């Protein structure tokens, strides 16, 4: 029988404090926040409430002054330089507002990027990561070989967003962090993209922390959190 450890967490935030400049008033003061393995959480909050800053702290892009952030059992604050970058690509998939694709590389090459930098992601992507990349792109509605091999910069915003999602998902990272990735899409495209993202996360078993100010998108998540209720700054 399969043993399910319902207590397993992929993210634990503990007594976190973060100010953009030392000595300034913190923009984040969070006592406790956690995500279970595979859980899909919608984090909402008005503009300027610290959502992007929190994701940057979880991703280890900014260093917090106080408190701890554990991702997959590792305290990211204790990691330095290259080790932090390696840990991020091993365990975290990122989808940001600006998709940060490499513009002159193809959609497929962009999706395969985490596998080039992370042995863990490569091994988890199966015997042939390229097949895994093509399957993800296909699931996300990008199957046309001409599109898959086209430079990322020649794709539409919606297509680039799908490429960014496939890149985050490949090699089943423990945690996907998505920061308002639907903001450039029209209403119908938003909903369908979000459905695809949630379904893919469920199928590969990655937890999802999806950040948005748009409450029309919060249905269908395991949990909805309002940052203004957890952020005491
Ligand atoms: P949200 O994503 O919820 O809109 P942010 O995390 O972007 O909010 O911003 C929270 C606060 O941090 C705001 O007061 C914002 O002005 C400030 N802030 C955001 N990014 C920076 C930055 N790079 N440098 C200094 N202050 C920043
Ligand atoms: Mg933001």
Cβ contact 115:167 at 8 Å: no
Ligand 2 midpoint to CA 94 (Å): 14
Q: What is the pLDDT of residues 112-133, one digit of tens each?
A: 999 999 999 999 999 999 999 9
Per-domain residue ranges for the chain? Answer: 39-51+81-230
CATH number listed for the domain at residues 39-51+81-230? 3.40.50.300
Q: Is 53 in the pocket of ligand 1 (CB under 6 A)?
A: yes
Structure confidence at residue 203 (pLDDT): 87
pLDDT tens-digit series, residues 57-77: 999 999 999 999 999 999 998
Residue 216 three-state SS: helix
Cα 215 to averaged position of ligand 1 atoms, centre (Å):
20
The Cβ of residue 222 has, within 10 Å, a number of other Cβ atoms equal to: 15
Looking at ligand 1, which residue's alpha carbon is closest to its atom 15? 48
131 class by beta-carbon count within 10 Å (0-12 exposed, 13-18 middle, 19+ buried): exposed
Closest CA to 68 of 21, 23, 9, 137: 9
pLDDT given for residue 98 in this prediction: 72
What is the distance between the alpha carbons of residues 135 and 142, in angstroms, rounded to a whole number?
9
Question: Is 17 in contact with 65 (CB distance < 8 Å)?
Answer: yes
Coil, strand or helix at 175 = strand
Q: What is the pLDDT of residue 186?
A: 82
Note the pLDDT tens digit of each residue in 125-155. 999 999 999 999 998 889 999 999 999 999 9
Over residues 26-38, the pLDDT tens digits come to: 999 999 999 999 9
**Closest-approaching ligand to the CA atom of 226:** 1
Does any ligand 1 atom lie closer than 6 A to the CB of residue 27?
A: yes
Helix (H) / strand (E) element for 226: namely: strand 223-226
With a pLDDT cut of 90, the percent of the chain lying above it is 80
Distance, in Å, from the CA atom of 164 to the CA atom of 177, rounded to the nearest integer, reads: 12
Q: Residue 45: CB within 6 Å of ligand 1?
A: yes
């Amino acid at each position: 029988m399969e043993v399910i450890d319902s207590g397993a967490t992929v993210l634990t935030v503990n007594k976190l404090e973060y100010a953009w400049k030392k000595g300034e008033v913190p923009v984040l003061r969070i006592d406790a926040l956690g995500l279970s393995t595979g859980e899909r959480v919608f984090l909402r909050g008005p503009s300027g409430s610290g959502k992007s800053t929190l994701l940057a702290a979880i991703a280890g892009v900014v260093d917090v002054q106080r408190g701890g952030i554990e991702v997959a059992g590792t305290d990211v604050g204790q990691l330095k330089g290259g080790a932090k970058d390696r840990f991020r690509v091993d365990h975290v998939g990122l989808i940001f507002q600006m998709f940060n694709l490499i513009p002159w590389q193809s959609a497929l090459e962009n999706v395969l990027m985490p596998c080039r930098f992370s042995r863990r992601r490569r091994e988890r992507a199966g015997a042939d990561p390229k097949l895994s990349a093509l399957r993800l792109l296909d699931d996300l509605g990008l199957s046309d070989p001409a599109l898959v091999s086209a430079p990322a910069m020649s794709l539409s915003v919606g297509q680039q967003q799908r490429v960014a999602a496939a890149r985050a998902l490949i090699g089943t990272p423990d945690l996907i962090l998505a920061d308002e990735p639907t903001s450039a899409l029209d209403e119908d495209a938003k909903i369908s993209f979000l459905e695809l993202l949630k379904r893919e996360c469920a199928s590969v078993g990655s937890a999802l922390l999806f950040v948005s100010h748009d409450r029309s998108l919060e249905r269908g998540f395991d949990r909805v959190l309002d940052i203004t209720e957890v952020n005491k700054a």
